[in-house]
Structure 1
Amino acid sequence: MEKHLIFMDIDGTLVARDQKISERTKSVVKELQQDGHQFYVATGRKYSSAFEMARKLSDDTQVIASNGSVYTVNEMLHKKRLSDEALRFVYQTTTDYQLPMFFFGEHTIFYTQQLPSYLQKNDQSRIGNDEEDFCSIDSMETLMEVSQRIVNGIIIADDQEDKLKEVREILAKSGLLSVSSSHPNNIELIPLGVNKATAIHAVRKELTVPQKNIISFGDGMNDLEMLQASGIGVAMGNAVDELKQHAQYVTNTNVEDGIANFLLDYFK
């Protein structure tokens, strides 16, 4: 069979809340890698967290991180970052609306307001991992001092969906950045013109793999462009309904080995 590129979102797709990859999924992926197929994790996580998860899957698994802002191909790291103008606009907007803000470097989390308890406890969340470097942002001046280190960001606010919707519209209309959401409680902030799909296009062009041989798995609306950029777009059984409507296939949930089941059916 022709060689394929397979892209997998992490949270809600490759792993469940316990952040563990099932042994069955690991086995299927490694077997397919031995047959010459190439696998990527494709996530909104920062690079170091995504890389750690990729290595839990296998040493050969590659990385698309920060919603396409950072990716590896042929052992080379490619990166785009939020512009200074975008950072200023986001910081001012979130300050005006009193919303907490997280900015991500390759290894560092920069945060406004108070650091949430789930990060203080080093919880294995979609933001944190075991070896975090946190930096508080208490002013526009402080933000600009570290701007060159920032790749992307996220606004997270539980039970404030109306406010988030209003802020998302303001940010999208600015023309300074791209916005997405993996959950109703967040707004993901990405360099203008960048998403998981743009990274996929760059990777497959570099590796000369036709689009028909691209398979992608996701569960949130920040995976929509990725599924649309693939020859075979697969929504998890636990995915949001809107994503399922745009996917070519729907597999089992992330806790039912949905990725492994689909790949076994597809390749064998």
Structure 2
Amino acid sequence: MDKHLIFMDIDGTLVNNQQEISKKNKTVINMLQKKGHLFYVATGRKYSSAIQIANKLSEQTQVVASNGSVYSINQTLHKEQLSENALKKIYETTAPKQLPVFFFGEHTVFYTQQLPEYLQKNDQSRIGNSEEDFCFIDSLDTLFSVKNRIINGIIIADNQETELKEIRHILEKSELLSVSSSHPNNIELIPLGINKATAIQAIQKELAIPKERIISFGDGQNDLEMLQASGISVAMGNAVNELKQQATFVTDTNLEDGIANFLINYFNQKE
């Protein structure tokens, strides 16, 4: 069978609420990898967090991280970064409203407000892996001192939808970066012109696999471009409505082995 290129978002797609990959998902993915199909996790997480999940599947699973800002092709890592002007705009826009911003390096999280307790406990997988991963940013000068280590970022603010909408509008209007959201409580901060789709297109070109043999799975708004760049786009049963409307197929939820169930049906039909 012709080789397929398969991209899977992590949170809300590949893993459950305990950050676990189901036995069925892993079994089906590993079986298809042995047949020569290529699998990537494609996520807004920083690289070190994404590679941990990829390695839980297999050493052959590769990574698109930081919403397309970092990706691997045949073990070579490619990287884009937020510009200095983008960092300045983000900081000067969010600081007066005291909105928490997290900037991601490959292995480090730089944060601008007091680190919320719930992030330290429940969202370590999404934001960071240990206390050593965190570095406090107390000024624009401090931010600039680490600018070469920053790839992308995220604003997270619960119960502040009005402020987030205002900030998103300002950042979009600046045309200094790309923005998206993986949840109503956040704004994803991405290098200008970069998203999961741009990474997919670069990987596709290098590996010479046609679009009709690219499958992608997602559940959030930041997966929209990825699905549009794929010949076979699959929204999870728990996906936002916008994604379901754009996808070619809708599968079961991430808690019901949605990835495995779709792949079993798809490849059985091919065979």
Distance 2:123 2:66 in 1: 19
Give the RMSD, CA atoms, in angstroms: 1.1
Match of 1:204 in 2: 204
Amino acid at match of 2:229: A
Helix, strand or coil at the partner of 2:255: coil
Structure with greater helix percent = 2
Match of 2:140 in 1: 140
Match of 2:161 in 1: 161
Q: Is the 8 A contact 1:40 1:64 kept in 2?
A: yes
Q: How far off its partner does 1:131 sit?
A: 7.0
Distance 2:250 2:177 in 1: 31
Q: Is the 8 A contact 1:153 1:190 kept in 2?
A: yes
Q: How far off its partner does 1:127 sit?
A: 1.5
After the TM superposition, which residues 85-164 of structure 1 pair with which residues of structure 2 at under 5 Å, given as runs?
Answer: 85-121=85-121, 124-130=124-130, 132-164=132-164
Distance 2:132 2:231 in 1: 36
1:16 aligns with 2:7: no
Helix, strand or coil at the partner of 1:125: helix
Instruction: Give deviations 1:190-235, integer Å, cap 9, x for gaps.
Output: 0000000000000010000000000000000000000000000000
Match of 1:39 in 2: 39
Helix, strand or coil at the partner of 1:126: helix
Q: How far off its partner does 1:122 sit?
A: 7.3
Distance 1:218 1:157 in 2: 23
Q: How far off its partner does 1:118 sit?
A: 3.0
Amino acid at match of 2:197: A
Q: Structure 1 residues 34, 131: CA separation in 2 closer, same or farther (over 3 Å shift)?
A: farther
Q: Is the 8 A contact 1:123 1:129 kept in 2?
A: no
Q: TM-score, normalised by structure 2?
A: 0.97
Q: Structure 1 residues 177, 106: CA separation in 2 closer, same or farther (over 3 Å shift)?
A: same
Q: How far off its partner does 1:38 sit?
A: 0.2
Q: Is the 8 A contact 1:219 1:236 kept in 2?
A: yes
Distance 1:255 1:121 in 2: 22
Amino acid at match of 1:210: P
**Between the two proteins, what is the percent identity of the paired residues?**
72
In structure 2, runs of 5+ residues without a counterpart are none
Instruction: Give deviations 1:6-29, integer Å, cap 9, x for gaps.
Output: 000000000121000001110000
Amino acid at match of 1:175: E
Distance 1:123 1:246 in 2: 29
Distance 2:109 2:174 in 1: 24
Distance 2:73 2:137 in 1: 32
1:71 aligns with 2:71: yes
Q: Is the 8 A contact 1:154 1:187 kept in 2?
A: yes
Identify the range of structure 1 (130-139 vs 96-105) with the bigger mean alpha-carbon deviation.
Answer: 130-139
Distance 1:232 1:162 in 2: 35
Q: Is the 8 A contact 1:33 1:39 kept in 2?
A: yes
Q: How far off its partner does 1:132 sit?
A: 4.5
Helix, strand or coil at the partner of 2:64: strand
Q: How far off its partner does 1:144 sit?
A: 0.3
Distance 1:17 1:188 in 2: 21
Q: Is the 8 A contact 2:180 2:189 kept in 1?
A: yes
Identify the range of structure 1 (249-258 vs 94-103) with the bigger mean alpha-carbon deviation.
Answer: 94-103
In the comparison of the two structures, how many residue pairs are matched?
A: 268
Match of 1:62 in 2: 62
Q: Structure 1 residues 53, 173: CA separation in 2 closer, same or farther (over 3 Å shift)?
A: same
In structure 1, runs of 5+ residues without a counterpart are none
Distance 1:96 1:186 in 2: 17
Helix, strand or coil at the partner of 2:11: coil
Q: Is the 8 A contact 2:67 2:196 kept in 1?
A: yes
Q: How far off its partner does 1:98 sit?
A: 1.9
Helix, strand or coil at the partner of 2:12: coil
Instruction: Give deviations 1:12-56, integer Å, cap 9, x for gaps.
Output: 000121000001110000000000000000000000000000001
Instruction: Give deviations 1:138-174, integer Å, cap 9, x for gaps.
Output: 0000000000000000000001111101110100010
